Structure 1
Amino acid sequence: MIEILNRTRLAQARDTGGLVADILQTLKGRATVGTNLLDIDRWVASMIAEAGAESCYVDYEPSFGLGPFGHHICTSVNDAVLHGRPYDRTLADGDLLTLDLAVSRGGVASDSAISFLVGEARPQESVAMIDATERALAAGIAAARPGARIGDLSHAIGTVLGEAGYPINTEFGGHGIGSTMHQEPHVSNTGRPGRGYPLRPGLLLALEPWVMADTAELVTDEDGWTLRSATGCRTAHSEHTIAITEDGAEILTLPSQET
């Protein structure tokens, strides 16, 4: 299913996107050395409830997961990159943490992810990898405008990631979003320009470049959800929900203030 939102629903999408962004920024400020991943999940549950919203993850049960996800946010640490299921683990100095959050409010969902280093340590390889995903995300957004095709976005994202030297996995990528979290069209993190679905005003997309330092192969944890690099290398993931407008792309998941 591909949804095209009218002005009323687009306004609601902005509201939901702002909520997701602000929650993520709050968590980034709270996630310090010694923080437990289960505490992060509890904080998210509380913030979502207080906002009168719903988590898109608690009852999420796609074909690739093992039963309902059962938590409110994805917490992926170091070699984990996607669908990181929160568990009893405390963060250490220098850990690379990815928080991926999808929330629905007023009948419209929004999805965003940030990667950052915990504590004071700043391993240069990790800093460079996070930067590459953020630059790839910016390139994909810059390519998004009415009349462009999905392949144009994929090509822009893949060019940045490839030039940075990272292998690119095409199993998981960006996606349409609207009344539900995951919709068509799929947005691969590499592709050929001029191909795929043509973009129209009112279309919402979640773009999410992610990479692993030295492999494109994933392995699944025993929890049936958490996806890790096959070599144990570090990973990074950046994501925004955008709306296609008459003038280009509007980022819906920008925080109201940096924390």
Structure 2
Amino acid sequence: MKYKNDVSFLVDKTLSLYEHQSSYNPNMPLWEFLYYADLYRKLIHRSERLYSKHLLKIPRPHYIVFYNGSEKDLEEKRRTLRLSDAFETDTGAGEYEWTATMININSGKNQSIMDSCHVLYEYAVFVAKIKRYRDSMELKEAIDLTVRECIEENILRDFLEQHRREVCDMCLTEFDEKKYEDVLREEGREEGLAEGRKKEVFMSVQEGDYGIVRGAQKLNLSVEEFEKEMSAAGYQIPIEV
């Protein structure tokens, strides 16, 4: 996740940017919008041209995200991500739009693209093997086995033979990062549920549905800890007679 994995190039008045993602990110159009702003700024050498009476021509943007993650709800071959989905208010159809085209490059998807770019096809096979093997063995073993098999089957053979160590390290980082993100997401969900539970108990005690002692018991806290957290959360501690 810490490596550079994108490329931009200017060909035939089109400024193309290709990005690779192994986890779904709905904010890619915004990221792209900001990135393109920097690219266009570098292409405009004389800023005063922006104040000219003549229209300043710029290359058209062409943004592609190659996706090979495992999210179950992203099985379609292509998805168009729109900047307008992030707007807090509706600006009207087609107004102020900026898009990113996400192409699924998991094995078996977008076969026409794979047929026209054999290296991309081989990369999809390589990633699919790691995903399949890691279900039954440790990640490092799955990566090592995948690399050996791919070399034997002439899949990314030259690259793997030259950069075997770097590829293994990259894959360990990439897949461990995904697992780490999943753990954080699950922990965040559990923390959110726990926080919601706290608020529910605090509100019930404040409204007199039951007393402080029972509220502390529901949250497995001492009475002193309960009162401290309830007060810190901005709730009024009732005076019990």
Q: Does TM, scored on the shorter chain, surpass 0.5?
A: no
Q: Which is richer in helix? A: 2
TM-score, normalisation: structure 1: 0.25
Which structure is richer in relative contact order (CA contacts within 8 A, separation 6 or more)?
Answer: 1
Flag the structure with larger Rg.
2
